[in-house]
């Protein structure tokens, strides 16, 4: 992994290939390595995989917010001399992508929300996040991630090797980093208007069996973008890059071509 310094904190990233820059951002309790196998077929693109604050090899930023994470994304792109890119964000990575889109207009060619959405937490979800913080403080984060990861997949997905690998990597995180990210999501901005105002292509990858994002939220979200490629996976949960790897790879590759043609 390479790295830059942002506000005296290390931000780690991996880079490969040449062409139009495509930034992949992981979700909660994940890191940049989750994309390693997924991005292998993406020839002809400059692929950047980033570790968000406190995850993977990136240090925890002093400010625990998605605004700060989006600022770190800008710092990384600036350091790499990338003026515009296509951003693909999974779950929390999508939240960061929307925050980046709101703060830094003109820096994106396209935005992919991979099992993500623009809405703030409901009161019920906020209460769950607060309970998660208390659980980690009382019981430690390893018990937490052992419960979290399996619930991200549909009931039909039975690849225990993938699940255990994700649990193992999440178990290596510092508990204060997981708590900080939970707080950041708890206090995030609503980006319904951001998604409505975007005038470049948007990719929505939606799992019908995604228990983290109710399908009715996704149905509302589909109405928001002006220009969108909408992909619905009927048998997939929250982890389409593993549950339906080849199918979602094709979706993302088609979106990248769509964005490039749109911007000609």
Question: Tokens in use for 69?
Answer: 């994470």
Q: Is the pLDDT of residue 128 over 90?
A: yes
84-98 pLDDT per residue, tens: 999 999 999 999 999
CB 129 within 8 A of CB 137: no
Residues present in the chain in total: 264
Which pLDDT score is estimated for 165?
A: 97
- H helices present in 80-119, as ranges: 92-103
In 3D space, the residue among 132, 137, 130 whose CA is nearest the CA of residue 176 turns out to be 137
Q: Where are the beta strands (DSSP E) in 191-259?
A: 202-207, 228-233
33-61 pLDDT per residue, tens: 999 999 999 999 999 999 999 999 999 99
- Residues 97 and 91: their CA atoms lie apart, in Å, by 10
Other Cβ atoms less than 10 A from the Cβ of 249: the count is 18
- Residues 28 and 30: their CA atoms lie apart, in Å, by 5
Which pLDDT score is estimated for 185?
A: 97
Q: Is the pLDDT of residue 264 over 90?
A: no
CB 183 within 8 A of CB 133: yes
pLDDT above 70: percentage of residues in the chain: 100
Q: Is the pLDDT of residue 73 over 90?
A: yes
pLDDT confidence bin for 263, thresholds 50/70/90: confident
Instruction: Using alpha carbons, list the distances in angstroms from residue 232 to 26, 116, 203, 206.
Output: 20, 13, 11, 5
109-123 pLDDT per residue, tens: 999 999 999 999 999
Query: Do strands 108-114 and 85-90 pair parallel, antiparallel, or not at all (unpaired)?
Result: parallel
Gyration radius of the chain over CA positions: 17
- Domain containing 110 — which CATH number? 3.40.50.1820
User: Number of structural domains, the chain?
Assistant: 1
- Residues 237 and 216: their CA atoms lie apart, in Å, by 14
Range of the domain at 173: 2-262
Q: CA 40: distance to chain centroid?
A: 18
- Residues 114 and 262: their CA atoms lie apart, in Å, by 20
- Residues 15 and 8: their CA atoms lie apart, in Å, by 21
């Amino acid at each position: 992994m390479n790295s830059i310094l942002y506000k005296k904190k290390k931000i780690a990233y991996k880079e490969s290939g040449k062409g139009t820059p495509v930034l992949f951002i992981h979700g909660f309790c994940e890191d940049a390595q989750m994309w390693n196998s997924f991005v292998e077929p993406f020839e002809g693109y400059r692929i950047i995989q980033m570790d968000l604050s406190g995850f993977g090899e990136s240090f925890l930023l002093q400010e625990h917010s998605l605004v700060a994470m989006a600022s770190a994304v800008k710092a990384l792109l600036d350091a790499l001399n990338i003026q515009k890119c296509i951003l693909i964000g999974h779950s929390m990575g999508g939240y960061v992508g929307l925050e980046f889109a709101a703060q830094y207009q003109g820096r994106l060619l396209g935005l992919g929300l991979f099992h993500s959405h623009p809405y703030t937490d409901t009161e019920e979800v906020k209460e769950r996040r607060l309970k998660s913080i208390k659980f980690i403080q009382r019981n430690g984060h390893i018990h937490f991630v052992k419960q979290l990861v399996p619930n991200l997949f549909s009931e039909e997905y039975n690849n225990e090797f993938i699940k255990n690998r994700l649990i193992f990597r999440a178990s290596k995180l510092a508990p204060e980093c997981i708590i900080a990210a939970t707080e950041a999501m708890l206090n995030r901005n609503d980006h319904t208007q951001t998604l409505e105002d975007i005038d470049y292509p948007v990719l929505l990858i939606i799992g019908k069996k995604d228990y983290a994002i109710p399908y009715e939220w996704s149905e509302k979200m589909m109405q928001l973008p002006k220009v969108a490629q909408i992909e619905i996976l009927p048998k997939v949960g929250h982890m389409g890059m593993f549950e339906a790897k080849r199918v979602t790879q094709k979706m993302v590759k088609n979106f990248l071509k769509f964005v490039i043609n749109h911007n000609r």
